[in-house]
Amino acid sequence: MAAMFSSSEISKTASSLLSAYASFAGSMMLVRSMANELIPHQLRSYLYSAFRYFFTPLSPDLTLAIDERCGMSKNQVYEAAEVYLSTRISPKTERLKLSKTRKQKHFTIGLEKGELIVDGFEDVRLTWRFVCTEGQKPHGGEKKHFELSFNKKHKDKVLDFYLPYVLHKAEEIKKQDKVIKLYSRQCPFSCEDDNKKGGSWGSIILEHPATFDTLAMDPALKKMIIDDLEMFLRRKAYYNKVGKAWKRGYLLYGPPGTGKSSLVAAMANYLKFDIYDLGLTSVRSDAELRRTLLSTTNRSILLIEDIDCSSEVLERQMRNKNKKLPDRTGQLTLSGILNCIDGLWSSCGDERIIVFTTNYKDRIDPALLRPGRMDLHINMSYCTTDGFRLLASNYLGISSKHNPSFAEIDSLLNSTEATPAEVAEELMKSDDPNIALQGLVNFLKRKRDEADNETENKATGCGEVGSSVRRLNAIVSRVKRLKTNVDQRKIMMRKRK
Ligand SMILES: Nc1ncnc2c1ncn2[C@@H]1O[C@H](COP(=O)(O)OP(=O)(O)OP(=O)(O)O)[C@@H](O)[C@H]1O
Ligand SMILES: [Mg+2]
């Protein structure tokens, strides 16, 4: 028969249970306070831990606590976990943290306090928990850490394979999401964060759309540059072994509008490197150059455009020499610039690329061209027939198939010097491909005629002499172009060896 209790009996039983518990708790407290008085502190804590050891059931799991910081510096594993876990959100996760700064392209998703994420790696089941606790006074603040739990038997696999995998994945994700910045000195849009890094760099997001796919240049040369960049990225250990700073220098030379700046933007977009655009004329002394360079970050391209104009720098130097100034510490000197390329200063930092550009290679100080100073000299030349095909496909979405204008344009490009910028400008003039191509044909003919007239004016005679000079001119420009190609190929062969 089921036992029946009245409500008064239930409350009587409950209150007697409560008073029994209170007297038990009271006597426990009494015992505890007596123990505190009688047993020394160290022995007490030893007894407590021994007691806990024998009476707590052994857990099959191991938990790793991953703190936000290691002393003063950030904990790389914590940072990687933050990034990695944002891609492992499961439908079971109930609360997430969402943020986005004005400059970020995508939302940043993070875990809220106490949230759990279950991950799998081969046959291992892992649980991540995000924990926030109040920091200790006087500094206070929140202390954040991740707890990673898994079966103890997988300890080696987690430490040797899973965590390195998390680090690697986080790097990949960061690269994909990275906003590329263009730093410039005294940038009017400089944001506070960047100024805090020191120096006087300000930054904006690099919106330049140039990529290797949109660059019109010799396909073999393009491939050589991409291979060179990739090899550079892979070779950290190699640079260490041979005792060289992990940096690479490129000199881009060629007439205006041949794509030097576009190539730098394409490199930055390809590597996801920031660009530091250093105008040498704004640097007053070697010391300032050093300070400025020290405030740049790793994985970046240092760009010094129009290096031939650094003759201004040297002129300044000469002027000071003439004034017989004994103290040279307050000047920017060529040796200061050279030091930044391959002296001791260049070894500060990793994964650095230095790019010089110039319209006039022959005006550059020979010290800058010395073998080994800049690793690759890249000639950005006039538009070739291959380059034109790429621009036609990019700008008009057309190919050479069944298009009679292509043959005419090819032959004009072989006898005229037109830059990719000029060709691109003509192609943009109409949405109708036929009109745009005809516009380009007219433009190239005009250019050719102008060049011919100029040559004729220079030539003393006219008539037959004039036309011979014109033919000669076309041959010279053809030979020049061939020589450039041969030079580039020689460089590639040397590199392959
Ligand atoms: N090789 C190229 N491929 C595709 N587009 C190009 C190329 N060269 C130039 N252009 C077009 O012309 C514009 C100007 O080119 P860019 O500024 O890269 O030339 P540059 O060689 O740096 O000139 P400068 O010597 O005057 O600095 C680019 O924005 C691009 O639209
Ligand atoms: Mg340029």
Domains in the chain, start-ordered, CATH in brackets? 61-177 (no CATH), 181-379 (3.40.50.300), 385-494 (no CATH)
Higher-confidence position of 236 and 372: 236
Ligand 1 and 424: CB distance under 6 A: yes
Alpha carbon of 253 to ligand 2 centroid (Å): 10
Residue 314 has pLDDT above 60, yes or no: no
Ligand 1 and 261: CB distance under 6 A: yes
Distance from C-alpha of 342 to C-alpha of 297, rounded to nearest angstrom: 17
User: Does residue 138 have a cis peptide bond before it, meaning omega lies within 30 degrees of 0?
Assistant: yes
Round the average pLDDT of the chain to a whole number and report it: 80
Question: Confidence band (pLDDT; 50, 70, 90) for 28?
Answer: low
Query: Residues 146, 129: contact at Cβ < 8 Å?
Result: yes
Report the complex ipTM.
0.99
Ligand 1 and 257: CB distance under 6 A: yes
Average pLDDT of span 87-92: 81
CB under 8 A, 24+ apart: contacts of 185-188: 185/278, 185/279, 185/282, 185/292, 186/282
Distance from C-alpha of 377 to C-alpha of 360, rounded to nearest angstrom: 13
In terms of Cβ atoms closer than 10 Å to its own Cβ (0-12, 13-18, 19+), residue 339 is middle
Residue 16 has pLDDT above 50, yes or no: yes
Query: Residues 375, 252: contact at Cβ < 8 Å?
Result: no
pLDDT at 252: 96
- CA-based nearest residue to 267, from 306, 219, 314, 301: 301
In terms of Cβ atoms closer than 10 Å to its own Cβ (0-12, 13-18, 19+), residue 59 is exposed
Question: Confidence band (pLDDT; 50, 70, 90) for 246?
Answer: confident
Average pLDDT of span 97-108: 74
Match 């690697």 to its residue by tokens. 168
pLDDT at 254: 95
Ligand 1 and 379: CB distance under 6 A: no
**Ion ligand 2: residues, CB < 5 A:** 260-261
Distance from C-alpha of 305 to C-alpha of 262, rounded to nearest angstrom: 12
Sequence letter at residue 11: S
Residue with the smallest CA separation from ligand 1 atom 29 is 262
Residue 283 has pLDDT above 90, yes or no: no
